[in-house]
Amino acid sequence: MVICCKDYLTNKHTIDIRTLDRDELLKRIDYIQSLYRTYRDLFLKTKQKIENHYLNKTNDYLSESHLLGQFSFLSQRLSRLREIIESFEIYSLLSKSRLDGFEQITSIYNKIQTEFLTFKFNLFDPNDTQFDLFYNQLNHTLCDIDQKLYQILDKDLHRILHSPSHHSFNALKLLARYENLHIKFFDSTEFLIDIIQWYEKEELEKVKIIYNQCRTTPTIERDHPPTIGRILWARRMYKRIRMAYVEFMKRVELKDNLIMKKITENFLMIANEFSIYELLYHQHWYNTLSDVVNLMCNPLLVRQNLIRQLYINYDPFIDVVLRECELLARYSIAMPDLGYKLLLDRTRIRFSYERLKKLLKDFSILLAKAHPTSYELVEKVMTQVDSTLAIGLNNLNWLSKNLDELFLPAEENISLMSDFLSQISSLIIHRIEEPINEVSRFEILEFPDDSIDFKQFVHDIQQQIISKAEKLDSLSMQIESAVLHVIQMFFDKAGYKSKPFEQKLGDIDLMQLSAMQRLTIQMFVQETAKSVRKTRNPTQFILPPSNEWERFNELCNEFLSSFETRLIEALTLCAKNTFEMIKIRANPTLWN
């Protein structure tokens, strides 16, 4: 049987058994050992029967070592070979593990495994002791490896437990990684007891102290509202002690441990305090939801009575509650249906707020685009924009679904009003003010450098005045035409297309002007003004005036009068400069 077993192991001595596949080799060893146990059991039964039958005779010839000695030796050698192979399989995980500090251990293991594969010995020869020596050396080496593992684990656990950013849960994970190596001589009980003692003193007690000291003013994360920040603080503190406690409870070896029973009592007491703390603030948050809904039912806009400025009627507390709803949903904390509705509407509410803020910004700069001389008229036509914004002052709130009824008309009217005011300002600057400035700088007379006869001098002045008066008359008509065009634009914008502008004649009393102003107006303006006024049709059909139309018409006349006054002032300055030039030219020695 021994010969057959050797042939079975080595394929009739054609291979080295170390080259066989591990599973195949172990299977053959199991078959041979099973065969040996079967033979041994049968031998012992047969021996017992013989001894019972021949009670008075010696049975030395029934010696087990005599009959099964070689088979027993082979079974013993194969058992040791099996231990070596299984040890290599277990310790091979060290080279695959990513734990720090295993480099030296892996090197030792790889060296002894290489020696086994290259070592020459006869497994089946009882006189060959090389295999037994290697077996003893391997056990000694593995014991050294186990001691080094204990030292590395103890060092790593100490580092983890004493690090500010780690705690016993990380130590348990590290211990589990060592246990998953399934090293034969490794016992984790001692380390486990050290971890639970650390957990009791350094985590449970510290969390209890922190809770008692900081529960009124806890450390709240950035961008977290106060109420939900306190709830999340309590949950973080609870999670800090819960994770390790759950892992402890999974370990059967700690079930009846006295230290673990004490830890359970303390843990349940602290967890109960955290639950009550969270419940109180959670209930407080529930109660604030109704207040937020009341705030969101207020109108979108408010107006300050003293000025035209509009303000967004948005309480910052709404943002706080919306942020709290986001955090509650993120951390799977229960909240009522109203909270989920606010959570669904938060994007629409914030978008509406930003859109409304831009709308009011565009509205506030409309007056900045208006020319200073037209402020009062702009105020009148701005009522069209005000009417589109009125819905936000009365009918709409932050819970309304039809906010486009405000945004679309208001954005369109503000855009149109902005274009209108830009056109008005451009007309006033380029077609009214620039010509008026040109009139004030206008040179009516040009004198030659040579001396001239007095009669010739008077004749030249008359000729120049006639020609330059036509130019001034053209500028005056251009200015008046532009002013009337601006007024007509305001009339059309105000909705008075069927009611034309009525100009009041005689607004400027020439008898109240100075002699120089009368002279200037008589020379350059009076005849032109009369001719222009004759072209107007004061008897044009006019509808019965209303109070608003009369006030608007009066503002337009004031607007016209302001530019007529500025034109007369410019003509006066032009005439004054001309008279000064005549005086200097008529008697140059007097001015030298």
Percent of the chain with pLDDT over 70: 83
Overall domain count for the chain: 2
Q: Provide the residue range defining the domain that includes 490.
A: 439-591
Last residue of a domain, one of 419, 454, 486: 419
Whether 341 is covered by a domain: the verdict is yes
Q: In which region does residue 183 sit, left (phi positive, over 0), alpha (psi from -120 to 50) or beta (all else)?
A: beta
Do 451 and 331 fall into the same domain?
no
Clarify whether residues 405 and 443 are in a common domain: no
The pLDDT tens digits of the residues spanning 5-17 come to 888 888 888 888 8
Q: Are residues 480 and 583 in the same domain?
A: yes
Residue 432 domain flag: no
Whether 111 maps to a domain, the answer reads no
Same domain, 482 and 539: yes
Does 543 lie in the same domain as 461? Answer: yes
CA angle 511, 517, 521 (to 5 degrees): 85
- Whether 69 maps to a domain, the answer reads no
In 3-state terms, the chain is what percent helix, strand and coil (to 5)? Answer: 75, 0, 25
Same-domain status, 466 and 569: yes
Q: What pLDDT does residue 528 have?
A: 41
- State the pLDDT at residue 62: 67
The sign one gets for the Cα dihedral 404, 410, 413, 418 is: negative
Among candidate residues 362, 388, 419, the one where a domain is terminated: 419
Predicted local distance difference test score (pLDDT) of residue 526: 42
Supply the pLDDT for residue 441.
Answer: 80
- The answer to the question of residue 83 being in a domain is no
Tell me the sheet residues that pair with 302: 311
* 223 domain residue, yes or no: no
Residue 18 within a domain: no
Residues of the chain with pLDDT under 70: 55-62, 93-102, 164-166, 183-186, 305-308, 445-454, 456-457, 497-498, 503-546, 585-592
pLDDT of residue 443: 72
Phi and psi angles of residue 312, each rounded to the nearest 5 degrees, phi first? -80, 125
Residue with tokens 């599973």: 23
Residue that the structure tokens 């105000």 belong to: 494
User: Do 567 and 450 have their domain in common?
Assistant: yes
| Claim to verify: residue 445 and residue 583 sit in the same structural domain | yes
What's the pLDDT at 80?
Answer: 86
Domain boundary residue, one of 388, 419, 450: 419
Residue 306 pLDDT: 56
Does 409 share its domain with 331? Answer: yes
49 in helix, strand or coil?
helix
Asked if residues 121 and 134 have their Cβ atoms less than 8 Å apart, the reply is yes
Together in a domain, 560 and 466: yes
User: Tell me, what's the pLDDT at 508?
Assistant: 45
Task: Examine the domain organization and report whether 454 and 374 are in the same domain.
Answer: no
**Counting beta carbons within 10 angstroms of the beta carbon of residue 84, is it exposed (0 to 12), middle (13 to 18) or buried (19 or more)?**
buried
**Per-residue pLDDT at 184:** 64
Residue 516's pLDDT is 40
Quick check: 75 and 123 in contact, CB under 8 A? Answer: no
Encoded tokens for 119 = 């070592």
User: Are residues 492 and 378 part of one domain?
Assistant: no
Domain contains 136: no
